[in-house]
Every structure is written in C-alpha cells, then in structure tokens.
Amino acid sequence: MVTRRSFIQTVSNGIAYTSMAGSGLLMACQSRSDQSKEAEKQSTQNEEKKKGKLGIALVGLGKYSEEQLAPALEETNQCYLAGIVTGTPEKAEKWKTKYDIPEKNIYNYETFDTIKDNPDIDIVYVVLPNSMHAEYTVRAAKAGKHVICEKPMALTVAECDQMIAACKEAGKMLSIGYRLHFEPYNLEMVRLAETKTFGNLKKIKAENGMNGTEGWRVDKELSGGGPLPDVGIYCIQAVRYTTGQEPLAVRAKEGPKKDKEFFKEVEASLTWEMEMPGGVIAECKSSYEEDMSLLRAEADKGFFELKPAYGYSGQKGETSQGKMDLPKVNQQALQMDDFAEAITKKRPTPVPGEMGRQDVKIINAIYEAMKTGKRVEIPA
C-alpha cells in the first residue's frame, strides 16, 4: 500500500542528493567542462528572462509533467521551464540533460523551500498526489512564488482556504490547472449556452471515465477518492461553465466493482445528479472501469455536444445544425501562458483558487450523497 509517508520517503531517497541538490556545492566539484555547460544553461535561462518570460518549476515529475507539461512549455510564449523538484536523482539527471536545466534550479522535497532565493523561478506548478497539494502550495507561496496547482485543488475546503490565504498573504497569484477553459470546443459549449443559440437549457449530460488506473489514485489517503476527484471533476466543471451556474443539491450512487480488492478503498464508478437553478438537471457519470467522454446540452430548440470532450486533444463537437470545426490547440501551453500573462499584466486568472474550492465543496457533497443515499444540498 502506497501511503503519503511512503510516497515522500520514496521520492526523497538519497542523503547525498538531499544535501546537495539545488545548491551551489556541486559547482566546486565539477570539471571546467561541466562548469562551462552550467554557464551555457544559465545563459539560456537569462535570455528567456530578457524576453519577459516567467520561469516555471514543476513540482513532481510524474506522467503528466513528463508527457504534457514539459512538452507544452516548449511551445509557450510567456513562460518557460526554469526548474524541477523531484525526489528521484535519476529523474533529475534525465530532465537536467533533456531540458538544459541548471544544477542550481534542481530541487528535491527537502531543499524545496530554498527556492525562495532563486530569481529564475517565478511560478511553481504543483503536480503531486492530491493530498500533497495544500502543503506545497502553501510552501511555494511562503517562498514568494506564484502557484499553479493541479486539480482537484485539495481534499477539503479547509485546505483550499489555507492555500488561498497563503497566496493572498504573500501577494502571489493562485491558479488551478483547468486546461479546458482554454480549449476551443469547450469554450464553444459555453458560448452556445450563453447566447442561447438553441434556446434555454433543459438538461446537461456529462460523462468521463477510463478503463483502468494505477498507483496512488486508488489510495484514499493520497487521492481522496476514486474517479470522482480525478476525472469526474471534469464533469462538475463542464456543468458549471456550460450553465454558468452553481449546483444547488446533489444525489449520487456508487456503481458496482468488477475488482473489489483493487478498489477496496475507493469507488470504481459512480453516477450523480446535480440540481441547477431554474430546474436544469445535470446527469453525470465517472468511472475507472469504462471509457467515456461526453458533454451534451439539450435546449428548447436543439442540442450541442462534445464527444470526446475532455481529453488533452481530439475533441469533436456537433450541434443540431451540424458539426463543429474549430482549431486544435495545446491546452496546457495556453493555460500556462495565460497565467503568466495574468501575472505580468496584473489581471485575475480565469481559473482561480476560489473555483477549485467550489469543486472540492461539490465533490465532498457528492460523496456524502453517495454514502447516505440522500439528497445533499450544496452549502453556500
């Protein structure tokens, strides 16, 4: 069983690495060739700074960082990959070489707080198991860095409040990794609803799931739950941004488990309804045992839908009047560029901590409804 303690122990191995990563001590041991390479890397970082770009440090080098965020940062215009935080020396070496990251911009979980002394890094992107989001967001804010935190923002509303307060106290911005707010097809769903192109909304259907998962996502201490906070949160978000409203109450039911031992701590699937103002009902479903990706809105004079809706790419849309034809984008690149621009222009981010807090509140209400079998009102 992977626990929060064992996760930290695993990623924080290596006494020598702990004492040396992210510091200038290695410079004294390097050959002139190595020192020259370090100087070249720092020169590259300085050039990015001169262009007005903000430096981002990724905290946690798992699959999402490796396959989505790092490649996206090679396409961004307002920010760049400036540093990394990992407890695995092998990963540090791999990323250092691949992305030309200076040794002084490489940290582990014990040297993390010294990031406050590094002017190369403006933004910390927290990409860790859900239970660790609050701790590292607060630590990043105290280190004087702006923060992007992956969804779900945290496990509890109280943690969300701590994160928001820490960033406000530090005078730093907090954004949640809601990439679909920058994706053209999902934005078109918002536009069609706002303009009432097909009349008033009557019903929303949102489904998101995948056939299989692994690792800490089935450990309740680290994840906070099963598919609901992982992929079901996209359904919650989709209903919120499509309707432009907040749910009043929820009902929920856990689905059957094909592998009861594997899913002994968390749900394998669930269905839930969200009651929206004006009588609109949102029918939602999420699963770790079934592939699905749908966002459908039914209105007085027609429908509009995305299928698939929530992936990193490949969205397809259709309405009563025909198929949607919109540009393909790198969602993560647009998301990070927008946050960097928000910081430099001193404007609000469209995906702030308060938005993440609301989702956590809704998730907890859904779990209460699933557990009790009762209708649960969303607290104000």
Which residues are the active-site residues? 151, 234
Decide the pairing of beta strands 146-149 and 123-126.
Answer: parallel
Q: How many CB atoms lie within 10 A of CB 99?
A: 17
Q: What is the dihedral of CA 70, 142, 146, 18, to 10 degrees?
A: -10
Whether the link from the prior residue into 152 is cis, omega within 30° of 0, is yes
Question: Per residue, what are the HEC states of the chain?
Answer: CCCHHHHHHHHCCCHHHHHHCCCCHHHHHCCHHHHHHHHHHHHHHHHHHHCCCEEEEEECCCHHHHHHHHHHHCCCCCEEEEEEECCCHHHHHHHHHHHCCCHHHEECCCCHHHHHHCCCCCEEEECCCHHHHHHHHHHHHHCCCEEEECCCCCCCHHHHHHHHHHHHHHCCCEEECCHHHHCHHHHHHHHHHHCCCCCCEEEEEEEEEEECCCHHHHCHHHHCCCHHHHHHHHHHHHHHHHHCCCCCEEEEEECCCCCCCCCCCCCCEEEEEEECHHHCEEEEEEECEEEEEEEEEEECCEEEEECCCCCCCCCCEEECCEECCCCCCCHHHHHHHHHHHHHHHCCCCCCEHHHHHHHHHHHHHHHHHHHHCCCEECCC
